[in-house]
Amino acid sequence: MANRTPSAIDVRTFDVVVIGAGVAGLAFSLALPEGWRVALLTKGVLGESNTRYAQGGISAAIGPDDSTRLHEDDTLLAGAGLCDPAAVRALVDGAPAAVDRLLAIGTKFDRSLQTGEILLGREAAHSRHRVLHAGGDATGAEVERAMVEAARTHPDIDVFDHAYALDLIVQGGQAVGILAELGSGERSVMAAPWVVVAAGGAGQLWAVTSNPKGATADGLAMALRAGVAVADLEFVQFHPTVLALAGTEPFLVTEAVRGEGAYLLDNDGKRFMLDIHPLAELAPRDVVARGIQDAMSTGNTDHVWLDLRHLPDELVYERFPTIANELAPHLIWPTISFRSRRQRTTSSEGSRQRPTDGPACRGSSRWGRPPVPACTAPTDWQAIRFWRGWSLGPTRRRC
Ligand SMILES: Cc1cc2nc3c(=O)[nH]c(=O)nc-3n(C[C@H](O)[C@H](O)[C@H](O)COP(=O)(O)OP(=O)(O)OC[C@H]3O[C@@H](n4cnc5c(N)ncnc54)[C@H](O)[C@@H]3O)c2cc1C
């Protein structure tokens, strides 16, 4: 840029510029009225974002025994007093309609083979079965697939892959566009009266994270440089159960596995969460995270175990195909071990930039001190069989 005069920069004009093509940027772009010309930027290719990696699912009060008020109560309880009630209400009230919109663009949620009804799972801190999944544990990937397809074929949305938003352009206290570097290396001003920053999370600011490489807090930095007030940066979500095979990227094991009945065991094979919270393994994430941390401290060890041996094979392989595929090649012992050497985080700040799913809704209760679980495969012959379906003896094994 230093070698160019401003007039050398290409200027394109839109009605809205959306930085980020994860679920937030895509949902916003697809919801705009017909005829609004949208520039949708992603610094990778469309579809590569945190959204793709979401395993666990989407909660919405659509079950016959459920209501948005129950969903609201559970959310406020899990938020431990730090939720913004208005934001929570907007979130839970809007969830069933959001599910309908996803269905309308062709999202394939998991359904009962018998009735054809959408299957609803139960997860941490939810008092009802209300979590929708797709592809078992590939919910984010399916939601993203449907939204990406809808965006790519939308006549009003111009998708810019490999387009790096560098800064907001502000005049008189208003954003009037952005400066971007396009895939070719060319710089461009994208002018618009509306600029939406939906650039995802900051996971890569941590030494170890389950987030993809692009989660580098660009949107947050741009907003701060432009003088935008930011809030709730202290809210960071540490997922309690992340598998880390030595030498591979950390791999998140969704809490839906606990939702289906998996136990957390300490090194003596004790279900320690039973003593900690009435919901045991389904307690809010920060409670589970602290429970794991305490179990590791008490046991003077760097891991705990996630025990699936009592769950039927069909359930595990049908419900969690991504996890099963990830683990099977590594010949994992039937229980999964978690340890806590390093700090890990799932996307958290990313969520906080979205009004419907920010800390206002999640509350601090979902983040914990870094308990940081990880797992490695045992190497002895007993493990050389199958990921699970075996009950080979004590769960006490060293990673
Ligand atoms: C392993 C894992 C599991 C998860 N499981 C769940 C779950 O079960 N349920 C759930 O609700 N949530 C889950 N989450 C969280 C959820 O995925 C995120 O909250 C959500 O996807 C965030 O969406 P987003 O659109 O805000 O950001 P992202 O999906 O991260 O999208 C960010 C977008 O911004 C773009 N971008 C960033 N910087 C720039 C720039 N400078 N210029 C141009 N574009 C830029 C990126 O390319 C990307 O397109 C999980 C997250 C992870 C990592």
319 catalytic per annotation? no
The response to whether residue 276 sits with its C-beta less than 6 Å from ligand 1 reads no
pLDDT of residue 104: 96
pLDDT in tens, 81-94: 889 999 999 999 99
Best residue among 17, 41, 51 to mutate for probing ligand 1, ranked by most atoms within 8 Å of CB: 51
* Per-residue H/E/C for the chain: CCCCCHHHCEEEECCEEEECCCHHHHHHHHHCCCCCCEEEECCCCCCCCHHHHCCCCEECCCCCCCCHHHHHHHHHHHCCCCCCHHHHHHHHHHHHHHHHHHHHCCCCCCECCCCCCECEECCCCCCCCCEECCCCCCHHHHHHHHHHHHHHCCCCEEEECCCEEEEEEEECCEEEEEEEECCCCCEEEEECCEEEECCCCCHHHCCCCCCCCCCCCHHHHHHHHCCCCCCCCCCCCCCCCEECCCCCCCEECCCHHHHCCCEEECCCCCCHHHHCCCCHHHCCHHHHHHHHHHHHHHCCCCEEEEECCCCCHHHHHHHCHHHHHHHHHHCCCCEEEEECCCCCCCCCHHHHCCCCCCHHHHCHHHCCCCCCCCCCCCCCHHHCCCCCCCCCCCCCCCC
pLDDT of residue 214: 86
pLDDT in tens, 264-307: 988 899 999 999 999 999 998 888 888 988 998 898 887 788 88
pLDDT in tens, 110-150: 999 999 999 998 877 889 999 999 998 889 999 999 999 99
The response to whether residue 371 sits with its C-beta less than 6 Å from ligand 1 reads no
Name the phi and psi angles at 177, rounded to 5: 155, -170
The response to whether residue 19 sits with its C-beta less than 6 Å from ligand 1 reads yes
pLDDT of residue 136: 85
pLDDT of residue 18: 97
In this structure, how many other beta carbons lie within 10 angstroms of the beta carbon of residue 248?
11
The protein residue whose alpha carbon is closest to atom 12 in ligand 1 is: 54
The response to whether residue 359 sits with its C-beta less than 6 Å from ligand 1 reads no
Neighbour-count burial of 234, counting CB atoms closer than 10 A to its CB (0-12 exposed, 13-18 middle, 19+ buried): exposed
**Gap between the Cα atoms of 395 and 11, Å rounded:** 62
Contact call for residues 237 and 260 (beta carbons, < 8 A): no
Best residue among 255, 347, 349, 362 to mutate for probing ligand 1, ranked by most atoms within 8 Å of CB: 347
What percentage of the chain reaches a pLDDT higher than 90? Answer: 47
Minimum-distance ligand 1 atom for the alpha carbon of 219: 38
pLDDT of residue 347: 35
CA distances from 394 to 82, 270, 327, 382 (A): 41, 11, 20, 12
pLDDT of residue 336: 52
Q: Which of 285, 339, 352, 354 is catalytic?
A: 285
The protein residue whose alpha carbon is closest to atom 13 in ligand 1 is: 54
The whole-model pTM stands at 0.76
Domains detected in the chain = 6-225 (3.50.50.60), 242-383 (3.90.700.10)
